Amino acid sequence: MKGLSIVAILAVVGMIFLIGGVAAALNRTLTTARCEACGMEVVKTDVSTERVVSSDGEEHWACCPICGFVVGLYYEDAEIQGQCFACNQDIDVHLEASQLSYVEFSGNKEFIKVLVGGMCMKNKLVGSAACAQAVHQSYEWATDVPEKTLQEALMIGNNKLATMTVGYKPISIPALNYVLIGTGVVLLAAAPITWKLMNKRSESPATN
């Protein structure tokens, strides 16, 4: 009876490790991605993250509006789904044959701007002058960041496209997840072995 409970504990703990490791890895795969332009890791739901849908229906990810244009331009025909960094309103920019085609936005499209801070973390999409102002005032790094029109930002993306290798980049799974999965598998494998060994040991005196 004591042997059985040791085996059960091994199996249960092994299962917990295995499920925990797999769930963590799966959760990471579902909720994060890497920018197809610069490789930066992004949380898919982050306000700065852009989802780019190419004409074949495939989804791609970008970390900022400039990388969004780089990725969109790479696929030539694409819908770049972004959000205003200040008010979270959806701003969907459609590219056709690498040109701005049209924009889906509930506000006045003329006021959509891209704050271009020179690095991905400082490139932000905004939907109105008030939102642009809010970003300038709320973040120290954004105080002097210039505002570009979508067309100007597209040109910046076009220049960057030549210097970047665009394409799917797999996310890295933390070593801890592999350790959890590995430990789980070892414990699960150990459970039946332990069971066999214990049975043999308990049988041997009887057979003698």
Q: Which is nearer to Zn ion, 34 or 113 (CB)?
A: 34
Q: Which is nearer to Zn ion, 38 or 86 (CB)?
A: 38
Q: Which parts of 83-122 interact with Zn ion (CB under 5 A)?
A: 120
Beta carbons within 10 angstroms of residue 153's beta carbon: 24
Lay out the site mask for Zn ion across 18-37 (x = CB under 5 A, - = otherwise). Answer: -----------------x-x
> Could you tell me if 85 and 74 are in contact, meaning their C-beta atoms sit under 8 angstroms apart?
no
Q: Which is nearer to Zn ion, 37 or 154 (CB)?
A: 37
| DSSP letter assigned to residue 95 | E
Total residues at the site for Zn ion (CB under 5 A)? 7
193 alpha carbon, distance to own chain's centre = 40
Q: What is the DSSP string of 28-41?
A: HHHHEEE-TTT--E
Q: Which parts of 55-84 interact with Zn ion (CB under 5 A)?
A: 63, 67
- The residue within the footprint of Zn ion, chosen from 10, 11, 25, 38 (CB under 5 A), is 38
Least Cα distance to 74 among 92, 53, 89 occurs for 53
Q: Which is nearer to Zn ion, 157 or 184 (CB)?
A: 157
Q: Which parts of 117-176 interact with Zn ion (CB under 5 A)?
A: 120
Strands (E), 65-163: 78-83, 90-96, 99-104, 113-115, 124-126, 147-148
Q: Which is nearer to Zn ion, 159 or 199 (CB)?
A: 159
Name the residues that contact Zn ion, by CB under 5 A: 35, 37-38, 40, 63, 67, 120
